Structure 1
Amino acid sequence: MIFGLACLMFTHKSTPHSVSQGQAEGIKVNKEVEGISDSGGRFQRFWRKPPRLPPQLPPDEKGSIGNLPHELQKLNTGSKWVDRQQRVQKAFIHAWSGYKMYAMGYDELMPLSQRGVDGLGGLGATVVDALDTALIMGADEVVSEAGLWIETHLSDRINKKGQVNLFETTIRVLGGLLSAYHLSGGEQGTNLTHKGPKPTVYLETARNLADRLLLAFTSSPTSIPFSDVVLHDPSAHRAPDGLSSTAEVSTVQLEFNYLSTVSGDPRYSIEAMKVLEHIKDLPKVEGLVPIYISPDSGEFSGENIRLGSRGDSYYEYLIKVWLQQGRNRDSNFTYLYDMYEEAMKGVRHLLVQKSIPNGLVFVGELPYGPKGSFSPKMDHLVCFLPGTLALGATKGLTKEKAMKENLLKFEDLENLKLAEDLAKTCFEMYSVTSTGLAPEIAYFHTEVQAQELPLPAKLLGWHCPCILPL
């Protein structure tokens, strides 16, 4: 998300400590290191203070909870969650205030230089992307400010701006407008506010944008859309290398389907769903797909398989689009669930491994396809997968309701267990660092990898020169 919420900082009394081998082993952070000499002292450049322990509750909170009766413990815990909720809202308002002061109307705020930049086509992406969050939080002042900007400026920008990326513009701007439409009461949606413009403003603006984005689909010689659209022409064209990202072309269907539903115009859904219908018939590796696809041939390009960048949301949207089309679950859209189910089997068989010695479950990559070597690299983006696995296992219901209705197959239980294990790994990626920020990319120690390392790396437990020890 462009509009990132500030992280909550839970303060606790800091005391010197050492971190156990079990906590720190198993994850390594990928980071470029400059100016490293070949002398023996090079290794010292990597050492830093030990990783921090996970955030702790203050001593008064820890002691008081354990001594309370069960009902009071529940009440006390509930009040703490309310407090944390308020902190999140405060962080959101703080971030919005900085954006409004220094970059209102720009796509993004550069916080250090305190200026705005248009890296996503100049459609005020942060304004639109933040609006549904403000609606859910009940941040009425932000809703009013963002809604007024959209009503006053966005349509004019859509008519005049240049090149935008189909995927980024769909998930941030089109999706943001449609969420605002629904959350402000459009089409019998959930009306969370009386602030901002009428819901029809959001819908009309969304249609103006979507009509131009449709050119990415209709200009392509196949069912695979081009990657970019020029808004003011309007026209569409390929990326410089001629390829489209698999994740990008398959991560617009929720938005286009919903727009067809609320507008009554089937064109948006028809064009977007052609992509998934086309991919259904392409050859795959146990349900897994390469991260690039050609809009000219309609075929996958290369063999790189991963659930990180350019691959991630293909798998996410398979299950979400199937759930969205739930009323037709027994007819035309069962292929989506079949594709999702096959892909998750492929993930468990080909991509899931455990690190040593700590046994952290992670999802690696096949950069050269199934016949090439396995890479123990996991993008932080893969942390979408635990939620997706849980959603697919319970079919969009709570776990309790899915169990009550006897919907959980053995494979669903396997996926729920994998979701828990991966969520723990994602947590450790944060807790093991001194800043509490997870790395963008992590490499995990594996048995095969350890056998191939040179002696100094084996002794130290990390690679050189591009890996920092954790």
Structure 2
Amino acid sequence: MGYAQVFSFIMDLMSLVLVSGSSSLVLDELLCVQIDLGFTKLRFCEVFSQSLLTLSTKRNYASCSTGKFLILILFFGVACLMLMSKSPNESGLNEKGKVTFVGGLRLGGLLRKPPRLPPRLSPDEGQLRGSSTNGSTISNSDPKWAARQQSVKEAFDHAWSGYRKYAMGYDELMPISQKGVDGLGGLGATVVDALDTAMIMGLDNIVSEAGSWVETHLLERISQKGQVNLFETTIRVLGGLLSAYHLSGGEQGTVNMTHVGPKPVIYLNIAKDLADRLLSAFTSSPTPVPFCDVILHESTAHPAPGGASSTAEVASVQLEFNYLSSISGDPKYSTEAMKVLAHIKTLPKTEGLVPIYISPQTGDFVGENIRLGSRGDSYYEYLIKVWLQQGAKLNSNFTYLHDMYIEAMKGVRHLLVQNSIPKGLVFVGELPYGSKGEFSPKMDHLVCFLPGTLALGATKGLTKEQALKENLLSFEDLENLKLAEDLAKTCFEMYEVTATGLAPEIAYFHTKDYTEDGLDGGNKSSMYANDIIIKPADRHNLLRPETVESLFVLYRITKDTKYRDQGWQIFEAFEKYTKVKSGGYTSLDDVTEVPPHRRDKMETFFLGETLKYLYLLFGDDSVIPLDKFVFNTEAHPLPIRRNT
């Protein structure tokens, strides 16, 4: 039916309204529209009549001149929309979501299509959208941000140069003492943590150095070393190996960001050997909750000295073990890891919130301390990320994870979110003694992961504009996105309020129930100087990534350039106060004083996370797109399950 016929049809309906005096008759008998949603069929007259014309006043509206006028406006609007819309596909196929009049007239764009999922990486898609085969040639159309991205790349090279000169093979660099230290089990954690960052940045010389060390030394280290922490080893070493495997072309037909270093199978084989040993933490436990410590050379495990494991730690290894099962073809890794989340699903919670300790011996939570900082944080992060990794709504087996996440975020808003005084910063506090105990206005820098997680959970990695256009955002999603932006502001102000422009490890907030004088951050010009309280024991900075992580995610999703500007300001502060001339960057003792006293430690996550997120923040959105990858809690990107 052509557009002229459509318009004529609508005009006939308008005329009928005028002469019949019964708009409900016209709608019920003439405007019979069938909507095929794949799982049910509805008549448009049923939907429309039930929502509008079954009102007790419907015949009064239809019989008065005002009612006729309104009906005419309705039909005229319908006609205009149809004439302005693009021509629909006239293939004759009755596709899901198509809307047709009896007689073949298509409404096309008149009614919203049912919400669809974000596009997934298809097997034949080839390289990352918009990216080349080498990270160094990724385009960035804005020269200012290309130059700033280059500055981050140079900072990474400076950090690596210090590590390579003074600490190669050790877990971490002490840049002032110019020596290495093993604090994470002696597996060369910095090498593996930094490897995929170098791949993304296109630093082939570092990829070659790090890759060669992994190939030559890591397997031997794993077979000889003693006690390691299940969580730290999984997120840093196993996660780094798996990301390196993928980014170096391990999955044929997907992505290859480097042409140097070992073959991908080398990374995979080492990852399997390490994971086989880490599995003892699960198989040794009498419950689905794993022990926290593993003796690598024995492939044995035992609980922590106090007996309990951290909730975040046992619930933040699933992304890595799931992906290893996917690429190795062996389900044992995923099976053991996912038992933890399935078990936690059955435990009692406080509005979706959980205590920070859990017992491997009993399987129950220990204590009542609820917080989103240390020992609690990544539990909530992995609820939504594991759901996304496994295909989101494409895989109904994991719907419970999304439900747990949504319930938990409601609990956060209801029980943990407050506003500071006098300026009203939104912050997330703690419940050290449970929901019936006193609220603590304490917020770890670690909590600054939450804005990024909230934004990712809202749009599923799409931009806000695209998600709105596709009608994918629920009211709950919009609430979470608003909270994400409010919390990101607070996290940035934790930097802005200090003399160095770098955030403390922990901040407290001035509320009607809590205040302490003389504990500001040292920047008297900050408008939030009286809102944020920094205690002497909490003033250190460990080069943490959580704030820049959230700035990166929020920029990708909202496209608001303020997040880039804030990231650049933080990077400049790192450059000014933490850079060590001889190589590397160092943690600080006190961010409220200038010059700050230096701690002599470069954490592995500065290369693995902080600089990676800053580089991506200033770069092209097509590099590691958020609707095709999830980052583990150590910023190692892993691909989202494909729609096969």
Same fold (TM over 0.5): yes
Task: Note if 1:104 corresponds to 2:168.
Answer: yes
Instruction: Measure the CA separation in 1 of the matches of 2:432 and 2:407.
Output: 20
Query: 1:396: how far off?
Result: 2.5
Where do 5+ consecutive residues of structure 1 fail to align? 1-74
Query: 1:147: how far off?
Result: 0.3
Larger radius of gyration: 2
Q: Give the corresponding residue for 2:602.
A: none
Query: 1:80: how far off?
Result: 0.7
The 8 Å contact of residues 392 and 399 in structure 2, kept in 1 or not, is answered as: no
User: What pairs with 1:117-136 in structure 2 (closer than 5 Å)?
Assistant: 117-136=181-200
Q: Give the corresponding residue for 1:159.
A: 223
Task: Note if 1:144 corresponds to 2:208.
Answer: yes
Query: 1:271: how far off?
Result: 0.2
Q: Give the corresponding residue for 1:378.
A: 443
Task: Note if 1:88 corresponds to 2:88.
Answer: no
Instruction: Measure the CA separation in 1 of the matches of 2:203 and 2:518.
Output: 57
Q: Give the corresponding residue for 1:72.
A: none
Q: Give the corresponding residue for 1:276.
A: 341
The 8 Å contact of residues 291 and 309 in structure 2, kept in 1 or not, is answered as: yes
Q: C-alpha deviations, 1:2-26, integer Å up to 9, x for none?
A: xxxxxxxxxxxxxxxxxxxxxxxxx
Q: Give the corresponding residue for 1:355.
A: 420
Distance 1:219 1:393, change over 3 A: same
Distance 1:463 1:362, change over 3 A: closer
Work out the percentage of aligned pairs sharing the same amino acid: 77
The 8 Å contact of residues 383 and 405 in structure 2, kept in 1 or not, is answered as: yes
Q: Residue 443 of structure 2: SS of its match in structure 1?
A: strand
Within the candidate set 481, 500, 525, 1:435 is matched to 500
Query: 1:87: how far off?
Result: 0.2
Q: C-alpha deviations, 1:209-244, integer Å up to 9, x for none?
A: 000000000000000000010001121000000010
Q: C-alpha deviations, 1:349-385, integer Å up to 9, x for none?
A: 0000000001100000000000100000000000000
Instruction: Measure the CA separation in 2 of the matches of 1:329 and 1:465.
Output: 49
Query: 1:403: how far off?
Result: 1.1
Q: Give the corresponding residue for 2:555.
A: none
Amino acid at match of 1:307: L
Higher mean C-alpha deviation, range 202-211 or range 110-119: 110-119
Instruction: Measure the CA separation in 1 of the matches of 2:187 and 2:468.
Output: 45
Q: Give the corresponding residue for 2:179.
A: 115
Distance 1:467 1:146, change over 3 A: closer
Distance 1:324 1:418, change over 3 A: same
Instruction: Measure the CA separation in 2 of the matches of 1:184 and 1:266.
Output: 23
Q: Give the corresponding residue for 1:216.
A: 281
Instruction: Measure the CA separation in 2 of the matches of 1:456 and 1:330.
Output: 50
Q: C-alpha deviations, 1:233-258, integer Å up to 9, x for none?
A: 12100000001000000000000000
Instruction: Measure the CA separation in 2 of the matches of 1:466 and 1:414.
Output: 35
- Higher RCO by CA contacts (8 Å cutoff, separation 6 or greater): 1
Q: C-alpha deviations, 1:82-110, integer Å up to 9, x for none?
A: 01000000000000000000000000001
The 8 Å contact of residues 508 and 534 in structure 2, kept in 1 or not, is answered as: no
Instruction: Measure the CA separation in 2 of the matches of 1:309 and 1:401.
Output: 34
Within the candidate set 224, 229, 234, 2:299 is matched to 234
How many pairs align?
A: 392
User: What pairs with 1:340-419 in structure 2 (closer than 5 Å)?
Assistant: 340-419=405-484
Q: Residue 122 of structure 1: SS of its match in structure 2?
A: coil
The 8 Å contact of residues 505 and 538 in structure 2, kept in 1 or not, is answered as: no
Distance 1:126 1:465, change over 3 A: closer
Instruction: Measure the CA separation in 1 of the matches of 2:519 and 2:165.
Output: 51
User: What pairs with 1:453-464 in structure 2 (closer than 5 Å)?
Assistant: none
Q: Residue 303 of structure 1: SS of its match in structure 2?
A: coil
Q: C-alpha deviations, 1:252-306, integer Å up to 9, x for none?
A: 0000000000000000000000000000010000000000000000000000000
The 8 Å contact of residues 322 and 329 in structure 1, kept in 2 or not, is answered as: no
Instruction: Measure the CA separation in 2 of the matches of 1:148 and 1:328.
Output: 40
The 8 Å contact of residues 421 and 512 in structure 2, kept in 1 or not, is answered as: yes
Instruction: Measure the CA separation in 2 of the matches of 1:354 and 1:464.
Output: 19
Instruction: Measure the CA separation in 2 of the matches of 1:456 and 1:99.
Output: 36
Q: C-alpha deviations, 1:168-220, integer Å up to 9, x for none?
A: 00000000000000000001241011100100000000000000000000000
CA-based RMSD of the aligned residues comes to 2.2
Q: Residue 347 of structure 2: SS of its match in structure 1?
A: coil
Q: Give the corresponding residue for 1:185.
A: 249
Instruction: Measure the CA separation in 2 of the matches of 1:170 and 1:236.
Output: 14
Task: Note if 1:171 corresponds to 2:228.
Answer: no
